[in-house]
Structure 1
Amino acid sequence: MSRKIVCLPGDGIGPEVLEGARTVLEAADKRFGLGLSFENHDFGGIAIDKHGDPFPEGTRAACEGADAVLLGAVGGPQWEGGEVRPEQGLLALRKTLGTFANLRPITLFEGLEHLSPLKEDRAAGIDLLIVRELTGGIYFGKRKEGETHATDECAYSAEEVERVARIAFKAAQGRSGRLTSVDKANVLASSRLWRRVVVRMQAEEFPDVTLDHMLVDAMAMKLIEAPAWFDVILTENMFGDILSDEASVLAGSIGLAPSASLGDGVGIYEPIHGSAPDIAGQGKANPLGMILSAAMMLRHSLDAADAADGIEAAVQAHLASGARTADLGGTAGTGETAEAVAERLGS
């Protein structure tokens, strides 16, 4: 059985890190017999240059027909301020594929504690998952903008909360069984709806999951005070955007952080770092965030948990060996790092 992976290399370091992930996936395919096939398509800034559209129709059709989508990175200074921007392609991609939940695991690998901005004893043991609602809330609400007054509406329906909460509850069941739901229920009506829905779901569908609630301002503080306490964190779009960026630095480098955007259909998998145009084409980028995103793809979209576990173990072993890319204080290159992980996976 062939499983079609659509690859969107994008801009900046995107093509380099995606090529690294493909190297590791090919090793996983050889070891686990996954039947993977790969197609590259234009997306982002490069697609604007070639087609006048960051998400051309050919790319759209390929993504809709894929088993999963791997995305490198988009954007760069040459497209800033333009009428058509690479980031518009991201919104269109998510809308087309109906991805409403963004999963961002934050793991501090053993031996990298000194790279966290926190003291080592506070950073040790960080292993959490943020589940962020991706298509609702203030980013997608009605808005009015004038010279002296502006309004952004934050709106959620019970159905929107239910579908993302269900993903978070199920994730908690597969981990240590704890879910922290983050809101601002003391102030916002949309947050009070959010909390009521989550409480009802826990009682009716997930009584085996321990649920607690935290206001978003307190959560921003607790992520720094006691990050290792958290397991799965569920929150709405804007809060999740802010908290996941805060949490991303705890593991020592944003280059290590993967993500998955999931819904009812095709999933999108990408590292959370940007296109880093200042180092593009130099072979300095850390491919591990992209490689770990590929592992998430195997687990969530291709039902290949053994292969995902294998990739994650190979990454951990690679880091434990002392090999480091520049963002981690070393000199290893992008391709060299990917080849080393692939070799460990195949051994």
Structure 2
Amino acid sequence: MFGFLCSRQLLVLKHRRTHLGFLQQTGAFIVKSFTSVGSLVESNEKPEEEKHSFVVSYLINSCGLSAKSAILASRSVVFQNPEKPDSVLNFLKENGFSNAQITQIVRSHPLVLLAHPEKTLLPKIELIRSIGVSSSDLTTIIASNTLLFKTNLKKRLIPSYDFLKTVLVDEKVLTTFKRSPRAFLSDVTNTMAPNIALLRQLGAPLSTISIFVSNYPSTASINHARFVEAAHQVTEMGFDPLKTVFVLAIQALLKMSKPKLESRLELYKRWGWSRDMALAAFKRHPNCMVVSEENITKTMDFLVNKSGWPSTDVAANPQVIILSLEKRIIPRWSVVQILLAKGLVKNNLALGTFLLPSERVFLEKFVSRFRDDVPQLLKVYQGKMSASCSISV
């Protein structure tokens, strides 16, 4: 046994010397001690298992994997010498992938080490570049979505890209890819294509379909039978296919089961909404039903109990339910509270007037405009001063 362990260590040391020069030249990973690798050799290991041990040591020292990750990865990839994996690592480095990203890719997709860089990997990278993805975004996206390297180019990636170009304008294709690279991995023939065809049959215009696909690509690729059911349910509820809210309602229903929708309707009922009022709110902004019960309760409690807004006002502006309580609702209400106290805005100010506008519009209309009257207003908005302090000044 002692003789075998020495032989094993010599094999590892030989591999280490072979790759040390390569790693130094490419600025790759710091070579780790092989002591831990040697400790992984069990007393019953046989000489024929040395090939497996070679792969483990390569994954640790050339790819930056931990010993545990290397052992797991070695179960799915086998090679007898470093020639092919070295060519892959070189290719990734030359295309801008960082050491950490290479480690991430190999850990998630060990078989990438056996790929032919020029024939298999480069065409996929070139396709992604053709969409308009920057070099920095490209490496980040691939490292986080290694299925892009796994998926067949001609059978899946190109058909998906070609289809998306038929429903999205060029900049939206780029936006969709960056938002959800997995949209390019779906089987468009059996998922997205029939779903989009149904929307067209129902009368949804291309502009609405484009918004739907670019914002909810995973929903657009959902099982066709489920999509049909949701689309018919939305139609029965009276949504107009010509309006964007039609597809928003479809994606909302696909995120919820019927019991979940009923529980949301019941929750809003406890805040004074009738069923018709809750359904009307859903028709105005479907995502008000998707929000968690905890967030609905916190938002309604603040607006109704702490701030004194009638529950019916919230029902008339259901978009506010999906807004961040801490980052948007409370800071903006703190500003408006001061302006109301000083008589600088009307008492009948609608809830949506100050909660729904963009950041730029809100600052112009409710902060910058009153800079001379209330100099501390910006500090209140930024959370650096309480509203009560500013009112008393």
Question: What TM-score do you get using the length of structure 2 for normalisation?
Answer: 0.20
Which of the two has greater helix per residue?
2
- State which structure, 1 or 2, has the greater radius of gyration over its C-alpha atoms: 2
Q: Compare relative contact order (CA 8 Å, sep 6+) and give the higher one, 1 or 2.
A: 1
